[in-house]
Chain A
């Protein structure tokens, strides 16, 4: 703070806002932990490392998709859609924060080590200081943005999957995951409706909007089976009553997608899945090049200032 800032006679446009210098946007508020005061005990019989890995999967899906949606800011077709995409991104950031904090509390070993004295909280260390191979999101979250039809198709597919998953996760034996799910599903319900309406609108709009939508669906479809493939971590946690086996979501997500595709008069594509490398995909940390580029942009400022305060 400079003397200039302390000059009581200076006619600043912000003077009226600074009546309360502890306010969150002005000054160094303490880190706000979104799980503050919650009981973070790992349920009996559950491997803490597996629980953390599972939370990273669901948290990274939200974090990476949120970043892609945030790239639309000021670029969407109109103001309403711009605001809608920013809102969806914000909801997903909120879910990611809860899940990354849950991961760090279950197994502090997943949090990257930072220089002595760094004030960076665990959730930020996980978001900004992990390498691409440590991210556990499905690859659909990370592929570069295409046009608006591509983003609506991606949000439709991922929110259809996520909503079905969160509905089941409300019954988790981990009360923290159950609470995160109960809260998040109300949000994702709005995301799914929004994307589904746009999917139908674009499919039934002009020849050009339909052409673009079909290109988008065919581009994303090879990445869809990865969401429903069971990873060993998911299998073990589902067996422990804590997680959800995504394969069990197949009937529910097919029902919803069929309803949207029928309303849109669009055929389900018949395309093979995008292969992994020796069977390894996003959940194993095997990503496309796009994730490295995304992280380079998302992490550059935090990595330049590992002792920074914000």
Chain B
């Protein structure tokens, strides 16, 4: 007889684990925590999806989930990686977007719909505001930032640079 796990409690615990690079965001609010359920063998099975293929934070996420859940008494925890469906910034929750903005990081707009990828020779136009002064007179300085998921911007009004979580 397999002991019945308190899945609701496990889901609560897993939902409080934060992203190692964006610690103002929980994995649940980032949209990478896909499922917390009972495995066929009676253990706890957690499913996460990486943001980018090479995101070095994925291993840390897995370790943090296992450790936190073990500390709460879930001895048999396995973390499974799901590559499909691929993560999209559309999965960042409203609470996650608010947390990003509060931390000075601009939240992503809607991701491009599925279909052939258009070539974009001009800089990407995004309808975003400076997270510091909320002015919309902002310019991209690079589509690549300090983490795989962010682009770099500068606010022309207040002069502050900021990161924008780029749509994917």
A residues in contact (CB < 8 Å) with B: 20, 22-24, 29-30, 32-38, 80-81, 83-84, 86-88, 90-95, 97-98, 163, 167, 175-176, 178-180, 182-187, 189-190, 192-194, 196-197, 200, 256, 259-260, 263
Q: Which of B83, B143, B148 interacts with A91 by CB under 8 Å? A: B148
Q: Give the residues from 113 to 154 in chain B that come closer than 8 angstroms, CB to CB, to chain A.
A: 116-117, 119-124, 141-146, 148, 152
**Can you list 23 A-B pairs with a CB-CB distance of less than 8 A?**
A24-B59, A32-B58, A32-B59, A32-B62, A36-B62, A37-B47, A37-B78, A37-B80, A38-B81, A38-B83, A86-B144, A90-B52, A90-B56, A90-B148, A92-B54, A167-B116, A179-B84, A179-B86, A183-B86, A190-B166, A193-B121, A193-B143, A259-B119
Q: Which residues of B contact A97 (CB under 8 A)?
A: 53-54
Q: Which of B54, B58, B62, B142 interacts with A83 by CB under 8 Å? A: B142
Nearest CB of A to B152, in Å: 7
| Number of residue pairs A-B, CB distance < 8 angstroms | 131
Nearest CB of A to B110, in Å: 14
Contact B84 A190 (CB under 8 A): no
* Closest residue of B by beta carbon distance from A33: B81
* Closest residue of A by beta carbon distance from B55: A94
Q: Is B79 in the interface zone, CB < 8 Å from A? A: yes
User: CA separation between A17 and B165, bound complex, in Å?
Assistant: 26
Q: Is B13 in the interface zone, CB < 8 Å from A? A: no
| A194-B143 in contact given A34-B58, A93-B54, A98-B53 (Cβ < 8 Å) | yes
Q: Give the residues from 149 to 168 in chain B that come closer than 8 angstroms, CB to CB, to chain A.
A: 152, 166, 168
What are the nearest 3 A-B pairs in CB distance?
Answer: A94-B54, A37-B80, A94-B53
B residues in contact (CB < 8 Å) with A: 20, 45, 47, 50, 52-56, 58-60, 62-63, 67, 78-87, 116-117, 119-124, 141-146, 148, 152, 166, 168
Given contacts A90-B148, A187-B53, 6 further A-B contacts (CB under 8 A): A29-B59, A37-B78, A38-B83, A189-B117, A194-B143, A260-B121
Contact B83 A24 (CB under 8 A): no
Contact A88 B144 (CB under 8 A): yes
Q: Which residues of A contact B81 (CB under 8 A)?
A: 33-38
Q: Which residues of A contact B121 (CB under 8 A)?
A: 193, 196-197, 200, 259-260, 263
* Closest residue of B by beta carbon distance from A185: B117
Contact A91 B63 (CB under 8 A): no
